Chain A
Amino acid sequence: MTATLQRGLNALREQIDAPVAAFFTSCVSCGLCAEACIFYRETEDPKYTPIKKLELMRRVWSREFTLFGRLAGAVGLVKPVTDDDLSEWEELIYDSCTMCGRCTMVCPVGNDLTMMIRKMREGMSASGHAPKELIGAAERHTDLGSPMGELHPALVAQVKHQEKATGIKISFDEKGVDYMVILSAQEIAEFPDVIGSMSRIFKKANLTWTISNEAFEATNVGVQLGNRDIARVLVQRVVDAAEKLGVKYVISPECGHAYQALRWEGPNLIGRPYKFGVVHIIELLDQLREEGRLKVDGKDADKLTFHDPCQINRRGGINAEPRRLMNMVAENFVETEDAGTMNWCCSGGGGAGAIERNEDLRLDAFKLKKRQFEKVGPDKIITMCAFCHHTLEDKLEANDMDIEVVGLTDLIAEYLDEDTDGSKA
């Protein structure tokens, strides 16, 4: 056995806990998870059945964590996991799974297959079987501060540009403010207007905030790659900066996995609760709306639909908030089929969108969303994740579909009532 295989299997063993054991014990191979998977649904290839993707982890569990499996393993009835197995499974664990979580919602015995894929990635990456694009992004993220490389100069330039456009000063490293804003690399590089949108909304709401020069990147490629050590380092950067500034909250931006990483995995990665709260930007906007600190003027007359990012809605529980905000500004809001908790993935989440070799597979997977959008025929698609935004634009263009994609924060800012004072009564 090679050292990397041993390391991978050890990482996998560490991930096996009571829920995993209960899930594998309960699986009856009914295959209903296949129908929930966007990759199976659009290709009808049985290898994409979610529980099948977990076969290697099941074998490790069976051989090492059950008495019967140990006996079966001893007489050769349960095969050990080999390096070749892991190589073969790389495509199933990364290329054809966005960890969207639909399978978790339909499994009749209640197996959280998505959580197990996340866990299995730990074993895959430790054994050297992760896609090179994610490894490269992880290296850039740890060494240069962002999965896209050194983004700090770009951030500073974008902030200056937004200050000029809005006339509102944006502070860096300001102590004593309530909120620290972090951004996804995709927002800094592709959708920087969101900085100005937040700036205008927060000013009207009398909310004090800052950006840290030390930790402005929200994404966490360690979570997508399946490497807890890298994920921990990246979360720690944000935690250190937020605790140094003494903010009450960190605002998780419009980015799906960033929310999962910081809000739900982060405290467990660093082994303690934070000294601050984490709030998703859309949760915050909805809270400001509720408190009467976010007022809008006018409504968008176009036909709007909404794309739910899997990690924020299905895996993150933020479902009603964006709809309340949509209804503030949309005159003609039409949902797609399966909208909300059971919405279909954009086909690019969970790191899958960064992998070059699965481009055709992702295009096939997108056909499902394409049909849904064609049925609604919207003028604009609104979403709350920059990577969903990027993927939707990319795939709509590839399919010659001329539909504008807009971030929800930007949409709200567009209709922000500049005349009414939204500060606390």
Chain B
Amino acid sequence: MNNPYFDLLMWARETGFNIALIIFAGGIVLRLTEILVLGRKKDFAPAKANGFSQGIKTIFTRSVPRKGVVKFAPVTYLGGYVFHIGFFIAFFFFAPHIAIFTDMLGLWWPSVGRVIIESSTALAVLALFALLYTRLTDPVRRALTTFDDYLVLLLSLLPLVTGYIAVNKLIGDPTLMLALHILSVELLMIAFPFTKLMHAVSFVFARYYNGAIQGRKGAES
């Protein structure tokens, strides 16, 4: 109990987490409300096929790139996949993370071993640097990139790096590193609804609309 960082860890785990969770959840509700409240006009053109089912289908099928496109932006495509999959595994399949979900929601699922978690984390970090590199050097990405894009790269990087350091006790006080890890996640949660991180929720709607619009015409999506 003499560890000077213990209080910080406890604050991060309780008060900090609760504040972040409220902003995270409230922010997502606000942003989704901002979208849905705009509504869609009734479509009077008779549908040729089922837009709803194609909308639902497109939420999943759009995860796979179209044939022949990867070679034109390999870093963005591959970096994107490696980051998302790596982050997903490290976030959802690390035993201590699952324990949090079990505590909060009563849900449980099997964890994966340390080797997989740490490899996924390392690959996700490498992918983030590859994505940063292409943002800095590729003319198309450079022209599109704003402060928001760099911010979300940083916010996504911090939990991965601090988590890796904390778990492996690489540098610094382990209690402090764990506290910093949790705080970095809380930063990510707070920023989530108000930055491009929000795509992790809104993509479901975007893909659905795309599929539904094309689908009712009988066109592919």
Contacts and interface: CB of A to CB of B under 8 A. Distances in A.
A375 interface: no
Interface string A15-45: 0111111110111111110111000100010
A144 interface: no
B140 A49 contact: yes
Contacts of B44: 267-268, 270-273
A293 interface: no
A21 B39 CA distance: 10
A29 B210 contact: no
Q: Interface size class for chain B?
A: 35 or more
Interface of B: 30-31, 34-41, 43-46, 48-49, 58-59, 62-63, 65-69, 72-73, 76-77, 80, 138-146, 149, 152, 194, 196, 198-199, 202-203, 205-211, 213-214, 217-221
A273 B46 contact: yes
Given A108-B80, A110-B211, A21 B38 contact: yes
Contacts of B62: 107-110
Contact of B210 (A31, A52, A111, A266): A111
A311 to B, nearest CB: 10
A23 B206 contact: yes
A381 interface: no
B34 A66 contact: yes
| Most-contacted residue by chain B among A32, A115, A342 (CB, 10 A) | A32
Given A21-B34, A32-B69, A110 B58 contact: yes
Given A26-B203, A34-B140, A263 B65 contact: no
B199 A110 contact: no
B209 A19 contact: yes
B210 A18 contact: no
B140 A316 contact: no
A382 to B, nearest CB: 21
B167 to A, nearest CB: 28
A316 B214 CA distance: 8
A80 interface: no
A47 interface: yes
A258 to B, nearest CB: 14
13 contacts: A19-B213, A25-B35, A27-B199, A32-B73, A34-B140, A49-B140, A49-B144, A110-B211, A112-B214, A267-B46, A272-B44, A317-B48, A319-B220
A67 interface: yes
A110 B138 contact: no
A338 B72 CA distance: 14
B202 A25 contact: yes
A22 B196 contact: no
A34 B143 CA distance: 11
Interface in A54-104: 65-68, 104
A106 interface: yes
A40 B141 CA distance: 13
B206 A110 contact: yes
A214 B40 CA distance: 34
Contacts of B68: 338
B134 to A, nearest CB: 9
